[in-house]
Chains A and B, each alone.
Chain A
Amino acid sequence: MARSDAFEARESERVSTYRLLATDDALSQDLLGPDAADLAAASLAMARRFASGATLWCAAPSWPWHAQHVAVDFVHPVIAGERSLPAVMVSGDHLWESLRPIARAGDMLLVVSRSDEPSVAGLRQRSKAWGVLTVWIGTGPRPEPGSADFVLWVDDDETVSSYGGRFALLYHLLSELTHVCLENPGLLEAEQAVCGDEVCITCSDEGCLGEVVAIRADGRAQVRTPAGLEAVDTTLIDRAHPGDLVLIHAGTAVTLVEGSPR
Chain B
Amino acid sequence: MSHESTGFLNRCVDTDGHDVGALLSDLVATAGAKAAESSRLRRSSLEALDSDLEQAAQAISERFRAGACLYTFGNGASSTDAACVAALFARSPGGALLPARCLVADPAVLTATGNGVGNELAFSRQLVAFAHAGDIAMGYSTSGNSENVIRAFQETRHRGLLTVGFAGCDGGRLAGSGVLDHCFVVRSHSIHRIQEAQAALSHRLWATVQQRLTPDGERPAVGQREPAADQDLAEPEEVR
Contacts and interface: CB of A to CB of B under 8 A. Distances in A.
Contacts of A253: none
B6 A149 contact: yes
A13 interface: yes
Interface stretch (B74-82, B112-120, B130-138): B74-82
Given A159-B94, A173-B34, A198 B77 contact: no
Contact of B31 (A14, A36, A153, A200): A36
Contact of B203 (A39, A164, A180, A193): A164
B81 to A, nearest CB: 7
Contacts of A176: 30, 34, 192
B59 interface: no
A163 B120 CA distance: 28
Contacts, number: 253
B93 A165 contact: no
A165 B199 CA distance: 5
Interface string B183-219: 0000000011001111110011011101100000100
Interface string B15-36: 1100110011011101110111
B223 interface: no
Interface centre among B13, B192, B197 (most CB of A within 10 A): B192
B77 A78 contact: yes
B229 interface: yes
Given A31-B35, A32-B32, A206-B7, A20 B2 contact: no
State which size class the interface on B falls in.
35 or more
B211 A190 contact: no
Contacts of B83: 64-65, 68
> Is chain A's interface secondary structure helix, strand, loop, or mixed overall?
helix
Interface of B: 1-16, 19-20, 23-24, 26-28, 30-32, 34-36, 38-39, 42-43, 47, 50, 76-77, 79-81, 83-85, 87-88, 92-95, 191-192, 195-200, 203-204, 206-208, 210-211, 217, 220, 225-226, 228-229, 232-233, 235, 237-240
Interface of A: 1, 3-10, 12-18, 20-21, 24-25, 27-28, 30-32, 35-45, 63-66, 68-69, 72-73, 76, 78-79, 128, 131, 133, 145-153, 157-160, 162-165, 168-169, 172-173, 176-177, 180-181, 184, 186-187, 189-191, 193-196, 198-200, 202-203, 206, 208, 226
